[in-house]
Structures are given as C-alpha cells and as structure tokens.
Amino acid sequence: MALVDGLIMSSKFRGCLLGSLLGDCLGAPFEGELAGTYVVLQKFFDKLEGPHYKAPLMQYTDDTAMTKCVAESLINQEKLDVKDLAKRFVKEYFNQPRRGYGANVVEVFAKLRATKCEDPFAPAKEQFGGSGSYGNGGAMRIAPIPLFFRGLDTKALAELARQSAEITHTNVNGYNGAILQCLAIQQSLWLNPKQPLNTGIFLEELLKKMQEFEKEDDEFMTEGEDPQPFCSKLRWVNELLARERSGGKRIKEKEDVLFRLGAGVSALTSVPTAIFCFLRAQQGPIHEINTESAFRRTLQYAISLGGDTDTIASMAGALCGAFLGYDGVSISKNLIKHCEGSEEMLNLADRLYSKSLPSDELMKTNFSEVCKIMDTRTKMFDMWDRERQ
C-alpha cells in the first residue's frame, strides 16, 4: 500500500503546484476586471483548449515567482529557513522585477537587501505604521509548505505558515490568511480523489481548526470588530454552498459571493473566496461555465468573479490540484502548454516530494483506512443534510 500511497501523494504535489501556476497565468489577463464576463471567459478557455491554437506563452506573476522561491528554499534547506527564504525573495525580485509586485512589498525587499536580511521580519513590521500588511501575498505563495510538511499537526503547520508569511505580511489578517490557505491545502492532500468531495465536512474541519487561531477573547480587538473574521467568512462559504446543494434559488455572484466574500487583494477578501471557488466547482456544473473538467471549472469560476483574479485563481487552483492530483489537472493539457514555466513547476513538485518523504510513523498511515473514515463521515453528513432540507 505504501507504493500506491506514494504515487497518489506525488501526483497531488504535481497537481497542487501546477494548479497554482495555471490559475496565476490564466487569471492575470483579467486582473482588476468586473465580475460577470462569462461569455468572454468561455470563449477564452475554449480557444486555449483547442488543439490548433497557437499564441505566446502566458506569463506568470509574482504569485508564482515567490511560490517557486518557497519550494526551492525547502528543497535546499530541508526545513523552513526564513533568512534563506527572504534572500531568495530579494534575489528573485531584483532579477525579474516586472512580475507585478506591489509597491509595498518592493519596499520590504529594498530594506531586506540593504540589511542583507539580517532580521527577515523587521522591514515588514515597520509597514503601515507598525500594523503590517493584511494583503494576500503570504497566502498566495504558501502551497509548498503544506506539501513539504504535510504530516505535521495543525498547530505546528500553522506556525510555519505564519513565519513564512511574516517576511512580508505581519498583520494578523495577513498571516492568518496564509494559515487558512495552508490548512486547506493540507486537508485537500489527504482526501481520496476518487471519491466525491463532501464540501460540508471539508468546511466543518477547516472551521474547527481556524477557531484555534482566531480567539473570541482577543484583548487587542476594538469594540464592534469581528474577533473571528476568517471563521465568519468560512460560515458564509458554507451557507452559500448549502444553498446550491439544496437545489434552491441559484446564488448570484455579485449579490451573494462578492458581497459576502469579496474578490480583493486583502487576505480576508480573497482566501475564503478561493476556497469557495474550489468547493463550488466540486459540487457540480456552474451556470454559464461549460466544461466537464472540475479543474477548469474552478479556475474559470474564480476568474469570472473579477478583482484579484490571478491570485484567487492561483489559490483555488492549488487547492483543486491538491485534491484531484496531476491527472485531474492534466485533463486540461492544452491549457498547460500555454502557460510559462509548467515543466519547471512539475520538476519542482517532484523534487519537493522526494525531499519531503514523511517519517516512519506517517508512512504507516493506511490511506485506505483514512478513506473509509471519510466515507463514513460523508454518509452521516449527507443524512443530516437531507433532514435539514
């Protein structure tokens, strides 16, 4: 069983990193646009998937550039080394500065270079009057961490996610967004891709974990401020998905998804949205998106929401790839050939997997037993869901 399990997991590594890349490349041309460009997107994806279409490679952005840095650092250091990671970020930016980096993170990189990364966290802590950035930059590049450390418990994995994010994003919402995306990818890795994904159970588990990091009694909260903003967003993700499952009135993107979840550059208005896009695509067909591929459906839906399309599609693609594995992503093989760096990303995934083989205890985990447990919980949840209707 270990060999089979290994093949499944290595495929999921490939799917996750390749999914992240494709979401970035395909989402970038639509960044900043308004929601609802369904016909345009359908034609765009159909054209790219056509066997005879030829065009210059679609370029990746800072999302992928920094994800590659995280993967390379883990491969070479065989641990999370924040100083090494900071140096790689700086070198990558100054070698290729035209990848769409924001002005604030460029300021961080300039200070890191000037100080030779002596304190990898200091420049980010100084931003925005000391409150730090709450953007989605920490979350968008997180994928290699839950892959490499997939066997860690929630608390240990979240701490690594926080440290990696705080090189550029020290605001609580900035690094909690990275933690949420990290934990969601880890969950996706351990699910059986041959079984339908029960979105209710997925969110139930994720919400339970995030509640540990968003405490109700936070003494630094101001009056009227939501003490658990990411948990609140996850509850809305669950509510919107439940509406679709019930077969009731179809949710409307502008009125429901964008109003409740958002599609912005902050972690709070993008990470939960990416999770929603991934889970919504697994529940079945989406109005005005014509494809049998759950992976393509994920990306196309994420991009259709407008806003920070490259980052949201990249995070959603990473989640979908971590669940479906390489086979689920490579169904869209003609999409892959139009994206810059696909072979490099697959090579990174293979190297990352070879360096991250789990401990002896983790290797004893029987994948089939995990699937049986999940199957039992799925049946129980389905019964509860039917009663609720």
Instruction: Please state the rounded mean pLDDT for residues 279-296.
Output: 94
Residue 371 scores a pLDDT above 80: no
Kindly give, in sequence order, each residue whose CB lies less than 8 Å from that of residue 243, ignoring residues fewer than 6 positions away: 249, 251
Average pLDDT of span 221-234: 86
Tell me how far CA of residue 149 lies from CA of 78, 122, 207, in angstroms.
10, 26, 20
Q: Which fold has domain 2-211+226-388?
A: ADP-ribosylglycohydrolase fold (1.10.4080)
pLDDT band for position 388 (cuts 50, 70, 90): very low
Q: Indicate if the pLDDT at residue 138 is higher than 90.
A: yes
- Say what percent of the chain tops pLDDT 90: 78
pLDDT at 215 over 80: no
In whole angstroms, how far apart are CA 39 and each of 46, 230, 290? 11, 32, 10
What confidence tier does 37 reach under pLDDT thresholds 50, 70, 90? confident
Between 8 and 388, the higher pLDDT residue: 8
Distance of CA 218 to the CA centre of its chain: 27
pLDDT score of 35: 82
Query: Residues comprising the binding site for Mg(2+)?
Result: 61-63, 308, 310-311
Q: Tell me the binding residues.
A: 61-63, 308, 310-311
What does the alpha-carbon distance between residue 31 and residue 309 come to, in Å, rounded to a whole number?
Answer: 5
Average pLDDT, the chain: 89
Q: pLDDT at residue 374 above 70?
A: no
Q: What is the pLDDT of residue 231?
A: 98
Q: What is the pLDDT of residue 209?
A: 97
The reported pLDDT for the residue numbered 220 is 59
Residue 68 has pLDDT above 70, yes or no: yes
Q: What is the pLDDT of residue 155?
A: 96
Average pLDDT over residues 72-100: 98
Whether the pLDDT of residue 383 is over 50: the answer is no
Q: Please give the biggest Cα pair distance in the chain.
A: 62
Q: Which residues pair with 286 in a beta bridge?
A: 289
Q: Which of 115, 66, 14 is nearest to 320 (CA)?
A: 14
Domain boundaries, the chain: 2-211+226-388
- State yes or no: pLDDT of 339 exceeds 90: yes
In whole angstroms, how far apart are CA 181 and each of 45, 175, 230, 275, 308? 26, 10, 11, 8, 16
Contact 92, 104 (CB under 8 A): no
Q: What is the pLDDT of residue 364?
A: 41
Cα separation, 200 vs 380, in Å, equals: 11
Beta carbons of 306 and 271 less than 8 angstroms apart: no
For residues 376, 382, 384 and 389, what is the CA-based torsion angle, rounded to 10 degrees?
Answer: 180
Q: What are phi and psi of 75, to 5 degrees?
A: -65, -45
In the predicted model, is pLDDT for residue 381 greater than 90?
no
d(CA 202, CA 184): 9
Q: Is the pLDDT of residue 378 over 70?
A: no
